[in-house]
Amino acid sequence: MTTLKEVAKLANVHPSVVSRVLNKDNTLNIKEETRTRINEAINELNYSPNSAARSLKTNQSRMIGMAIPDFNNPVYSSIIHGAEDHAAMEGYHLLVYSMKQKGLGKDFFSKLLKERIDGLLIATSDINNKHILSLNETKKPFVLVNRMIQDVENYVILDDERGGKLATKHLIDLGHRHIAHITGPLYTGTALKRFQGYREMLQEKNIPFEVKYVQESDYTMEGGYQSMEKLLELDSPPTAIFAANVMVAMGAIKAIHDNGFQVPADFSVIGIHDVFFASGLSPSLTTVDMPLYEMGSRAVAQLINAISERKLKFPGETIDGANLIPRESTRSLLDE
Amino acid sequence: MTTLKEVAKLANVHPSVVSRVLNKDNTLNIKEETRTRINEAINELNYSPNSAARSLKTNQSRMIGMAIPDFNNPVYSSIIHGAEDHAAMEGYHLLVYSMKQKGLGKDFFSKLLKERIDGLLIATSDINNKHILSLNETKKPFVLVNRMIQDVENYVILDDERGGKLATKHLIDLGHRHIAHITGPLYTGTALKRFQGYREMLQEKNIPFEVKYVQESDYTMEGGYQSMEKLLELDSPPTAIFAANVMVAMGAIKAIHDNGFQVPADFSVIGIHDVFFASGLSPSLTTVDMPLYEMGSRAVAQLINAISERKLKFPGETIDGANLIPRESTRSLLDE
DNA sequence: TATTATAAGGAAAACGTTTTTCTTATATGT
DNA sequence: ACATATAAGAAAAACGTTTTCCTTATAATA
């Protein structure tokens, strides 16, 4: 392992000069000639700095932690993807931790922040609020991703309300008037806002809101299945279902099929989040694509900014953008 | 940030003693009394060691890198999950890098190995063989996961042949005699072995192997779709399809539906890998579940072992186990 | 009692950087 | 020509550990 000293020796300068070249330190002056001499030495020896030594000295690791609920959730895959790309772009590395059935002790993250990472992305609700607030003591920044809690401004979220409106609007535009909504857990901000979007769009289009068409569910396939069965039992069932996410949509479709009906012939179904297999489902699923990748990317950008500015707080950010991706699972009632 | 020195001062001992207690160094003797005194001081000051300093001194980071093709692939999600759990268990951290559309320069990983990580998991075919072999120069261990290349023994793979046999056997047991196989890319070991399993099982059951029933594909939905369309054009189409993975299976099912047929009424379909949404598909998909989680876990175990034993080589390992998960997409021809 | 073994812990160097301060030589202004 | 400013680089301390080697006191042995 070649060290900075060896580079210095070969270039015939003092180690400190090499360090300044390495860090593009502009406050000190270095002759162009020596700079190139040093760079040649670096190349010749195939030198790369020891990051442990660097971390020790600068008290920065250029690593970012990220807590997610589950690796097997394509929504988080997209967020991670965006986060990782942006981190790489800025020379940071991402450490991802799944909370799934893991007894990561109470102070796992505060310890991690203390000793190893420069900041933390919290993209999971598995960490309770008190615990999150206690991270303030570490004096290192963290960002809530796709989640908000009281008294914490550092969040990056999506415009879920717009997502809910778009999904509902699509069904209305297709001529549906009896539109059910299978929600996510309503104690989560995302589910609540999608629900709000649904109500607002109904109102905007002068379609009466009917409580019987709303089923609170839990973002799972099983939940979607059960909720759909309840909707099927109604005297006048809906003709279209706005599912809070794709898992719920899949469960609902399964319930529809199991009860002898067809999608979209008998029921139109739309879900939030254009996961990678949405187009592969039979029928392919109409979705509202949310900018998950960008949310991950922006969250990292905000975090890195907070790290380098040594700020622990910044104003929350909402990522705009939600796109309807029409596919086979929704059908128009108008051209009949 | 409290340091080891402060702990030493509070406990009234020399820093070196604290270090020895911290590292459970048994070669040196320490009175039980001082040991508890030190531990009390550690708790009182809420001390945790600076990992940068530790890394600098010991030349180990307790971090493992992992290269995957794509975050959006549930197969790799499971592998990561297993890897991450095992790493956490052993006090290691996992750095995951997706190769997707990222210009990670040729020597990204060798640099990473040099400066930051203790070992590397290669779970992608995006890194070419020469490049992998050049990692040997870093003198740090790496493990191939779900992949083999010549002259590299350090691999952990699955018994894909058994997976192929199980899938084929299931279809045969259901009474099918005209069984097609849509393969993955046959230059990959996994696809080749699944194909071999298919042939062997046919032979074992005295069912003639027919070339027309084999379509080479590429593990994608689109590939599965196209291959299935070719199978549908045959004079005597198969009654069952063994798809090399779930994406291919979804594509095939879509093609079947688009051509006016039903699954499983007209065609039975089975795929490899029991991804999390297989049960949510309509019809739910019969799969062969492979021990992906365990493969990830074992790969990390092997890597950590290599790290601590300072060995660069170890004998390859094949993870046993493959389980049929029967669902709605396959149906018996026998009870007609 | 004299010698040696052992237990318990202290001293200090080292890991590879960064950064503040110091030195020297040359350029600038009057 | 003198004082001063600046450019270019050297010196050295420091970051927080680990680890090898020493020291001292006590216990064991002859």
Q: Is the peptide bond before B264 cis (omega within 30 degrees of 0)?
A: yes
| Any domain includes B331 | no
Contact (CB, 8 A) for A258 and A273: no
Contact B257 A283 (CB under 8 A): yes
Residue in chain B nearest A283 by alpha carbon: B254
Distance, Å, A260 CA → D29 C1':
94
Contact (CB, 8 A) for B127 and B120: no
Tell me: do A164 and A244 sit in the same domain.
Answer: yes
A206's CB contacts (< 8 A; 6+ apart) are none
Q: Which residue is nearest to nucleotide D14 (CA to C1')?
A: A57
Cβ of B16 less than 7 A from strand D:
yes
Output phi, psi for A2, to 5 deg: -80, 145
B94–chain A nearest CA distance, Å: 6
The residue behind tokens 């598909």 is B281
Tell me: do B164 and B264 sit in the same domain.
Answer: yes
Tell me: do B183 and B253 sit in the same domain.
Answer: yes
Note the pLDDT of residue A102. 65
Contact (CB, 8 A) for A166 and A324: yes
CA pair distance B208, B218, nearest whole angstrom: 25
Task: Name the helix (H) or strand (E) containing B292.
Answer: helix B292-309
Work out how many domains chain B is built from and give that number. Answer: 3
Q: Which CATH number does the domain housing residue A13 bear?
A: 1.10.260.40
The pair of structure tokens assigned to B19 is 């270090």
Output phi, psi for A20, to 5 deg: -65, -35
Task: Name the helix (H) or strand (E) containing B138.
Answer: none
Cβ of B46 less than 7 A from strand D:
no
Degrees to nearest 5, angle at CA A195 with A193 and A199: 115
The pair of structure tokens assigned to B280 is 């949510």
Tell me: do A102 and A123 sit in the same domain.
Answer: yes
Q: Find the mean pLDDT for residues A303-322.
A: 94
| Any domain includes B329 | no
CA pair distance B98, A88, nearest whole angstrom: 10
| Any domain includes A331 | no
| Any domain includes A333 | no
Contact (CB, 8 A) for A222 and A255: no
| Any domain includes A332 | no
Tell me: do A277 and A191 sit in the same domain.
Answer: yes
- Note the pTM of the prediction, 2 decimals: 0.93
CA pair distance A30, A53, nearest whole angstrom: 24
Question: Which chain D nucleotides are covered by protein, judged by CB under 7 A?
Answer: 7-12, 14-21
Cβ of B180 less than 7 A from strand C:
no
| Any domain includes B239 | yes
DSSP state of A279: G
Helix crossing, A74-89 with A292-309: angle to 10°? 40
pLDDT per residue of chain B (336 residues) written in tens, 0 to 9:
899 999 999 999 999 999 999 998 766 688 999 999 999 999 999 999 999 999 999 999 999 999 999 999 999 999 999 999 999 999 999 999 998 866 666 678 888 888 899 999 999 988 888 889 989 888 999 999 999 998 899 999 999 999 999 999 999 999 999 999 999 999 999 999 999 999 999 999 999 999 999 999 999 999 999 999 999 999 999 999 999 999 999 999 999 999 999 999 999 999 999 999 999 998 999 999 999 999 999 999 999 999 998 899 999 999 999 999 999 999 999 875
Output phi, psi for B159, to 5 deg: -90, 75
CB contacts of A72 in chain B (<8 Å) are 74, 77-78, 81, 276
Tell me: do B224 and B263 sit in the same domain.
Answer: yes
The minimal CB distance from A74 to the residues B72, B96, B257 is found for: B72
Tell me: do A270 and A216 sit in the same domain.
Answer: yes
Contact A100 B81 (CB under 8 A): yes
Q: In the predicted model, is pLDDT for residue A288 greater than 90?
A: yes
Distance, Å, A5 CA → C16 C1':
8
Cβ of A29 less than 7 A from strand D:
yes
Residue in chain B nearest A277 by alpha carbon: B247
Q: What is the dihedral of CA A280, A281, A287, A292, to 10 degrees?
A: -60
Note the pLDDT of residue A129. 87
| Any domain includes A102 | yes
- Radius of gyration for chain A, computed over Cα atoms and rounded to the nearest angstrom: 26
CA pair distance B194, B248, nearest whole angstrom: 14
Residue in chain B nearest A69 by alpha carbon: B81
Note the pLDDT of residue A105. 62
Q: What is the pLDDT of residues A234-279, one digit of tens each?
A: 999 999 999 999 999 999 999 999 999 999 999 999 999 999 999 9
Q: Identify the bridge partners of residue A323 per DSSP, sorted by sequence position.
A: A289
Q: Which CATH number does the domain housing residue A147 bear?
A: 3.40.50.2300
DSSP state of A69: S
Tell me: do B265 and B193 sit in the same domain.
Answer: yes
Contact B85 A97 (CB under 8 A): no
Tell me: do B259 and B270 sit in the same domain.
Answer: yes
Tell me: do B195 and B79 sit in the same domain.
Answer: no
The pair of structure tokens assigned to A193 is 């806002």
Tell me: do A24 and A68 sit in the same domain.
Answer: no
Residue numbers of the domain that contains A76: 61-158+292-319
* SS3 assignment, position A237: coil
The minimal CB distance from A88 to the residues B102, B111, B250 is found for: B102
Q: Find the mean pLDDT for residues A62-72.
A: 94
Cβ of B4 less than 7 A from strand D:
yes
Q: In the predicted model, is pLDDT for residue A10 greater than 80?
A: yes
Note the pLDDT of residue B336. 59
Q: In the predicted model, is pLDDT for residue A86 greater than 90?
A: yes
CB contacts of B109 in chain A (<8 Å) are none
Of A121, A255, A263, A247, nearest in space to A191 by CA: A247
Q: For strand C, which residues in window 49-88 of chain A come within 7 Å by CB?
A: 49-50, 53-54, 56-58
Rounded to the nearest integer, the mean pLDDT of chain A is 94
Tell me: do A231 and A109 sit in the same domain.
Answer: no
Q: What is the dihedral of CA B159, B161, B164, B166, to 10 degrees?
A: -70
CB contacts of B93 in chain A (<8 Å) are 95, 116
Note the pLDDT of residue B296. 98
| Any domain includes B328 | no
Contact (CB, 8 A) for B265 and B257: no
